Structure 1
Amino acid sequence: MSATSHQRRRRIIAAAAGLTTVGALVAAMPAGAHDRGERHGQDHGYGYGRTVDVQLLSFNDLHGNLQPPAGSAGRVTHADEDGTTHTIDAGGVEYLATHLREARKGNRYSITAAAGDMVGASPMLSGLFHDEPTIEALNKLKLDVTSVGNHEFDEGARELARLQNGGCHPVEGCYEKKANGKPKTFRGADFPYLAANVTDEKSGRPLLDPYFVWEKDGVRIGFIGVTLEGTPDIVSAEGIKGLKFGDEIETINKYAKVLERKGVKSIVALLHEGGAPASGSYNYDCDSPGPGDGISGPIVDIAKNVSPQVDALITGHTHQAYACTIPDPSGTPRTVTSAASFGRLYTDTTLTYDRRTGDIVRTSVASANHVVTRDVPKAADMTRLIDRWDALAAPIAGRPVGYISADIENPSGAPERPAGNLIADAQLEGMAPADKGGAQLALMNPGGIRAGLVHQASGSEGDGVVTYGEAFTVQPFTNMVTAVDLTGAQLITALQQQVSGANQAAPKILQVSSGFTYTLDMTKSGADRIVTDSVRLNGEPIDLARTYRVAMNEFLAGGGDGFAVLKEHGNKLVGASDLDMLNAYFAAHSSPDAPLAPPATGRITVVE
């Protein structure tokens, strides 16, 4: 396939009357590859050696972060040789483009791939326009292929189809105009989305292409794309209606055999599921003392059971940084990588390809994560892209909605977060009036808090103003807030489900409103971590038989994030959106002369 064809390939993944499938094998040549002399002797014909090095650049969980992420979300931690650590400001698509383009220089064979969540839960610059700006940026980055992640389904399969194939938003229309004043149609993605384990419930056929084959000068590498099987637990039910999500291991192994039958022996899995390294430093050696010993989580079991036919796994979802080797079923170490999130890192993996066998020489695979530093020149085309969309968003994004006296942080992994307390308080206040739902407490899922609020961002005015755009970045889902009936027993069960069942390995600690308190004993395991007699509302012990009115977003009310008991609610009343409630809270509790202070923590007492 020519470079031009590669730039404009299209996928039909959903039709107005229902879901369809595209299962055809696509081979493509990357645009803009650069020449490089080979490491080994020349052979006849092509003039290339028997083995050639293929550069695989990868990243994951961009989430529409085109501008540099603010605060801690825009930093990575580096482990120093003396045992100390320091942080580095990182991210921003203007810098990511520069780093990727520089990395490709001198590499004749270079592929750029991603492992899902390119869009969804995006800051306002992208989210306001349903992530069209991010797809445009990825086209300019020369992304060759990506798997879907759970957030690609936030707005449903038909919206994912539009992002892939192009066309203006069905409700809001075209956002831009041509020079002649006519609407400018969104062109869609130049790269294929892969979703091998996402199938139509009725037909059983894949929603998207399950695999993609990259080819140049006879070098062929296949990519299989899957998202986590648990996607239905973390996406709204409406977004995945009519879809089934299959087992990651079974699906990858199935399509590895398909690719083998087609003569493709070099295979990479793009998997939107990940793990947790023992250190938060991006350069941590997770192979010390042995392969994969320094990483835990779902990816470990998956990697140990995915067929040895697969030569490397590019992963995501957990927003962690690692470049590990985990033994495959035959005991042979295999590269498994993840580049954190928000475009702060990219992974550079060298795959040594044997022309005679058509396979990767696994003992020669090398991989490392690199920081997307902000000390390089900005890519001019990305600056123009950001400026263009920023101008369209400016009338809305720059409107002040509140004022804060200090950073309101959202520290990843912390049981209790100031930003979570703020959101829970806002939702309780919005649903507390009798005619609004009569809520007595509020619960907020931690994954729905996409950022904190920075009092003084680098280079900004530093006056503590919270703009609509900043609030949107914190709460980008437009989840409607509900008030529901739950018994005290159900409340206790919900707290226990934070640390047991689907959430036992990676607890999801709900953020709670002011007045609701309890103790989390991390010296115990599973549901026993919740000290039940410590759970109180306004100082009074929770009565297991009593009915309480609880505010939460519709995602939680539908049992999202593994909180199955929350689906058993009664007497639901739907209120305003989460973003509207947050902005209303700012309006009621802050002004230029009296900015809002960060909510105090201490609602959850942690015993370690």
Structure 2
Amino acid sequence: MIVTRPFALALGAALLLSGCASAPVRPLEINLVALNDFHGNLEPSKYTYTPPGSTQPRTIQAGGIDVLKGALDTFRKDDPDLLFVAAGDLVGASPAASSMFADEPSIEALNRMGLVASSLGNHEFDQGPKELLRQQHGGCDSPRPAKACRLSPDFKGAGFTYLAANVVDAQTGKTLVPGWRIVDVKGVKVGLIGAVLHDLASVTIASSIKGLAIEDEAASINAVLPVMRAQGAQVFVVLIHEGGFADQPYDKADCDTLHGPIVAITKQLDPAIRLVISGHSHTGYLCKVDGKVVTQADAYGHLLSRIRLTLDPATKAVQDIQVRNVVMAPDAFQPDASLSAYLADVRAKSRAALAKPVARVQGALSRKENPAGESVLGGVIADAAVAATRDQGAQVGFMNPGGIRKDLETGEGGIVSFGQAQAVLPFGNTLVVMDLTGAQLRRVLEQQWDRPAASSPSVLAVSSSLTYDWDGTQPAGRRTANVKVDGKALDDNKVYRVVANNFLAEGGDNIPMFAKGTRRVETGLRDLDALIAYLQKHPEAGGMSLTAPQRIRKVR
């Protein structure tokens, strides 16, 4: 057969087009980076981990806003459309450099990093809804007038969106902040849904969430999917301030040992949700639960989670999810110069106050607990509360371990600076004195086991005036024994004067018996001031050891 030139050209073009039509279409990739529980850690802090391929733990100073921004800039070179998101507790319980300025430096730093959205965490409620909304929208009308707008007179608020589908006004039924947000990434509408732990009341001062209803996490998340679909959402990502624990390394992909509240929540989520970015438990993990990927990036900016979603380009269905937890080591990324300069400015404005010596002790005090649940630092804080309220008749002091955020570190010669003391007790909690009967006091001790999804108690630190034994194998109501106050057996009918911070006093940390105390005195005295005063009078406090049971004895 003779083929003419025009026909040959046409045939070649047809074959070429046919080849193009049959060529596989590349999958679509969407990249996310996630942060959780930043807690205003502008500067790097101690992080101990075991590097991949090693059996030896390594301790470094990890994080810091300039290193985080440097890492994000590096990741954005791979994908300029990277989506930076978070899972709550970005502020609150913060070191002094952030908290002394009402956490405005942390909000500004996250703005400069390009954060898009975050779920609310429990610590966003520390100062109540008014301050939470000010941090979102900006302005200087704050319940902390001595701190707000002191760093900059025109605080603009968060450039990112706080999300919580399950926090609603109890009267109107409207959410306090938006429940969700849709972001367009590479032509794909990505739906971000926020939620905070349902048990918010157990970890938040009651007055700070008064008038708010905290609804079931999974039900609230699932309920918003239809309206999000109606507005075009094609991929769904949950940002939730609730977490769990895994018995595998922080960088172990597809880990299968996750346990804790986040597991049950994840199992109830709509099958369309394939990715859950969690927080609250300050743990690094990359796990699978019922086919869903569940991540968490430890805390304080020590890790960032890198997440890659592979989508079908036609249907936008999620085909695969790859995740990594990346340590924010100081030598791993080039610090961002602009945020280094910003951090230097914050340091300069806070340096005098933070560096002020407030006490001298023999050595550092650790918050590490012994097998009975005691720590050196916890005991000192409880003793300090009693000493500060003796004039109110205080006999017994309590401190919740979750409120002790750092070890008490010292400088040369055992000098304690205000910044070091404030890092231990950053909440600004005040002391409340109340009456409890012996029977109620016994119930307080028993309620240490009343913790949802926990297999062990959260042992409260106690003052030296209180001693007792506990046996976790005994049934509820009989786990504590040999309770003594000032060396005398506890009398169920006698009234005792008890002091605790206002978080515990309102029934926080799942100890509702405190809220039943009578003859309450809101002293207005900060727990931090009480601790500093105690250290000034007791320089021997530092360097002690709790290697053997003292106030609390664990029987078995």
Give the direction of change, closer, same or farther, for the CA distance of 1:510–1:132 in structure 2 (3 Å limit). same
1:366 aligns with 2:314: no
| Map 1:142-157 → 2, pairs under 5 A | 142-157=114-129
1:273 aligned to 219, 242, 257, which one?
242
Aligned to 1:484: 434
What's the offset of the Cα at 1:158? 1.2
Asked whether the equivalents of residues 503 and 562 of structure 1 are also in contact (C-alpha less than 8 Å), the reply is no
- Distance in 2, matches of 1:371 and 1:404, equals 34
1:536 and 2:484 are equivalent in the alignment: yes
Q: Is the 8 A contact 1:76 1:90 kept in 2?
A: no
| Aligned amino acid, residue 518 of structure 2 | G
Given the alignment of the two structures, is residue 396 of structure 1 paired with residue 353 of structure 2, yes or no? yes
Distance 1:431 1:284, change over 3 A: farther
Structure 1 counterpart of 2:104, from 132, 136, 156: 132
Q: Which residue of 2 aligns with 1:556?
A: 504
**Quick one: which of 522, 528, 535 aligns to 1:574?**
522
The one-letter code sitting in structure 2 at the alignment partner of 1:311 is: R
> Relative to 1, partners in 2 of residues 1:176 and 1:485: Cα closer, same or farther, differing over 3 Å?
closer
Q: In the alignment, which residue of structure 1 is the partner of 2:533?
A: 584
Contact 1:315/1:338 (<8 A) preserved: yes
TM-aligned CA deviation for residue 286 of structure 1: 6.7
Deviation of residue 118 (structure 1)?
A: 0.1
Please, which runs of 5 or more residues in structure 1 have no aligned partner?
1-41, 178-183, 328-332, 457-461
Report whether the alignment pairs 1:316 with 2:316: no
- Which amino acid in the other structure matches residue 480 of structure 1? T
Report the CA distance between 1:262 and its aligned residue: 2.4
Query: How many Å separate the matches in 1 of 2:77 and 2:544?
Result: 47
The answer to whether the 8 A contact 2:63-2:328 is kept is: yes
Distance in structure 1 (CA, Å) of the matches to 2:313 and 2:369: 45
Q: Measure the CA separation in 2 of the matches of 1:51 and 1:283.
A: 25
Summarize the Cα distance change of 1:176–1:321 in structure 2 as closer, same or farther, 3 Å threshold: closer
Correspondent of 1:472 among 405, 422, 428: 422
CA distance in 2, matches of 1:90, 1:505: 31
Q: 1:606 to 1:301 in 2, by over 3 A?
A: same
Higher deviation after alignment, 412-421 or 163-172: 412-421
Q: Which residue of 2 aligns with 1:31?
A: none
Partner of 1:445 in structure 2?
400
Q: Is 1:55 the equivalent of 2:31?
A: yes
- 1:116 maps onto 2:82 in alignment: no
Match of 1:175 in 2: 150
The answer on whether the counterparts of 1:116 and 1:146 sit within 8 Å (CA) in structure 2 is yes
- Aligned counterpart, 1:258: 227
User: Displacement of 1:283 after TM fit?
Assistant: 3.0
SS at match of 2:42: coil
Residue 605 (structure 1) aligns with: 553
Contact in 1 for aligned 2:364/2:542 (Cα 8 Å): no
SS of 1:105 mapped into structure 2 = helix
CA contact (8 A) 1:236 1:560 kept: yes
Cα shift at 1:214? 1.4
Give the deviation of 1:405 after TM superposition. 2.3
Q: d(CA) in 1 for partners of 2:358 and 2:352?
A: 13
Q: Tell me, in whole angstroms, the C-alpha distance in 2 between the residues paired with 1:512 and 1:62.
A: 29
- How far off is 1:168 after superposition? 2.1
Instruction: Determine the structure 1 residue equivalent to 2:130.
Output: 158
TM-score of the two chains, using structure 2 as the length reference: 0.90
Q: CA 1:570 to 1:390, structure 2 compared with 1: closer, same or farther past 3 Å?
A: same
Partner SS for 2:156? coil
Amino acid at match of 2:470: L
Among the aligned pairs, what percent are the same residue? 36
- CA deviation profile, 1:521-555 (whole Å, cap 9, x unmatched): 24456554x332x2222332211221111111111
Shift of 1:380: 1.7
Unaligned runs of 5+ in 2: 1-18
Give the aligned partner of residue 7 of structure 1: none
| Contact 2:361–2:538 (8 Å) recurs in 1 | no
**Out of 450, 455, 480, which is 1:500 matched to?**
450
Q: Does structure 2 conserve the Cα–Cα contact (< 8 Å) formed by 1:264 and 1:358?
A: no
Q: Shift of residue 261 of structure 1?
A: 2.6
Q: In 1, distance between residues paired with 2:24 and 2:375?
A: 56
Task: Report the more deviating stretch, 77-86 or 380-389.
Answer: 77-86
Is the alpha carbon distance of 1:510 and 1:48 closer, same or farther for their aligned partners in structure 2, counting shifts above 3 Å?
A: farther
Partner of 2:13: none
Partner Cα separation in structure 2 for residue 251 and residue 258 of structure 1: 12
SS in 2 for 1:567: helix
> For structure 1, which segment, 341-350 or 472-481, has the greater mean C-alpha deviation from structure 2 after superposition?
472-481
Q: Is the 8 A contact 2:380 2:541 kept in 1?
A: no
Which digits, 9 at most, give the CA deviation of each residue in 1:203-230, with x for residues without a partner? Answer: 0011111111111331221100010111
Whole-angstrom CA distance in 1 between matches of 2:465 and 2:118: 44
Q: Distance in 1 between matches of 2:39 and 2:20?
A: 44
Distance in 2 (CA, whole Å) between partners of 1:315 and 1:43 is 43
- Matched to 1:258, the amino acid is V
Indicate if the aligned counterparts of 1:497 and 1:503 stay in contact, CA closer than 8 A: no
SS at match of 1:225: strand
**Matches of 1:525 and 1:82 in 2, distance apart?**
43
Alpha-carbon deviation of 1:80? 5.9
| Distance verdict in 2 for CA 1:204–1:334, change over 3 Å | same
Corresponding letter in the other structure for 2:231: K
Residue identity opposite 1:387 in structure 2 = A
Q: Give the Cα separation in 1 of the matches to 2:370 and 2:111.
A: 33
Deviations 1:162-190 (A, max 9, x none): 1111112542353246xxxxxx3011111
Relative to structure 1, is the Cα distance of residues 577 and 197 closer, same or farther in structure 2, using a 3 angstrom cutoff? same
Q: Does residue 1:345 correspond to 2:303, yes or no?
A: yes
Question: Cα deviations across residues 303-353 of structure 1 (Å, max 9, x unaligned)?
Answer: 1111111120000011111110000xxxxx110011111111111111112
Q: CA deviation at 1:49?
A: 4.2
Aligned amino acid, residue 64 of structure 1: G
- Cα separation, 1, equivalents of 2:444 and 2:270: 38
TM-score (norm 1): 0.82
How many residues are matched?
A: 529
